[in-house]
Chain A
Amino acid sequence: MMNGRRISLVERYLNGRMTATEARDFQLRLESDPKLRQLLRDEQEIEQALRRDSESIPKLGSQRLEQFVKASAGKGPPGSGSSVSLKAAGTLQRGVKEILLQLITGRGFLVMAAVGGTVIVSAILMQKDDPAAVPLPAAADTVQTASVHDTSQPSPAVASEHFGLSETQAIEPAASGALSDKGRQISGPLLTPLPEKQVMERIQLSSLPAADTILAPPLKNVVSTTIARPNEHQVRKPKSNSPTDDSLDAMRQRMEQEGGRQQLLVEPNDSVRTKVFNKD
């Protein structure tokens, strides 16, 4: 027999494309043709290796993906009768996405840099009483004002008048104790000077929730209200190759009716064995 014919036979056999008669003929040929046996054995080895590789592919830890699908599917088509909460969640998510998209683009980045710069500069400017702060170069009008009052600090008299402090406290608030309650009320947390490092940390921290929003859509409430946990039994398992091929279903049924199914085994000693599986 030509090699091409052998290959064709083996492939038809492996893919379950043989009729019952052809399968019987194949079995007879297998017993008489060592090359056919070798070819079948090689193919079975390859098939087995592929199947083992297939089984080793990890089951997709699909929690993230499943949440994504549940959340996205729960959004509903535009204009349809979805619940308000779903719509709100979808709008919020889209809004955050759009903002982040703007920030990523060049123009948005410039705006972000300008805002960030302004925050940093204002924070540094408010650090006047921080001995560790680096003094900024004075602008022209500041120099002029300084020359009038003959000092770069606010006048102690003005400070004591406005904030109800003693003159000593107004001159050296850090050294002589904390601000008075009135002073605290007026200054508030916004006027509390922050070191530049802390300001930068706050800016970085403030951007984290936005990034989180994109990475994990904030639709937990949607998920919890819509879908139950997946039932693993419902997942359709992949069909195996030839044995469960549709083309063989009818044959299998017939064969089972007649008492069982057969299996061809190529033994290590190169003999072919037929194994019959009974219904029981």
Chain B
Amino acid sequence: MRTVGIISHGMGNLSSVVNAFTKLGYDSILLDTPEYVSKCDKIVLPGVGAFEDGMKELTDRGLDESLQVHVASGRHLLGICLGMQLLMSKSYEFGEFEGFSFIKGEVRKIANPDLSLRLPHIGWNTTILCDQKHPILEGLPHEVCHYYINSYTCFCDEPSEVLGYFEYGDIYTSMIARENIVGVQFHPEKSQNYGLKILDNFMKW
């Protein structure tokens, strides 16, 4: 499979994601309507910005339903940053909003009770992998640096669906996986070699 579908819902810099797949030798199709979603075996749901806007932009374009069909058919989906958070049941970013519920759990703000942390959480942090047998983690060391930029983070109901953690004042979920779905909180397209490796693994999965 040499082609990846990239969901284009007006939330964030898609050219970074496209450039990364181009560098790896894959073709990208930008999906801003449901039309070609069913043609793609591999789909990436990227995105930065607020949860409510992200979900609304998908719904307005009819992409929410086509993503549900994609996942139900057993084809692969990778959520990046906000795209990962949208996979969860619910978010408390500026209100209370429903997500896809592909993975059970919530999105909440990184705790900062004594205001000792700077937020957003921006920069290179260590991702600690808990299940290196997952195909998406092929060839990665147990601890690896990735580029993060987030104030909100995922809390999974089911610990076995957590693939990796990061530490920022507390321990938080960095990667999630269930069946044909994977989500990463960091930006693999901006994390140089160990980020591009994950995108390549996704395509070979």
Partners in one complex: no
B interface residues, Cβ below 8 angstroms from A: none
A interface residues, Cβ below 8 angstroms from B: none
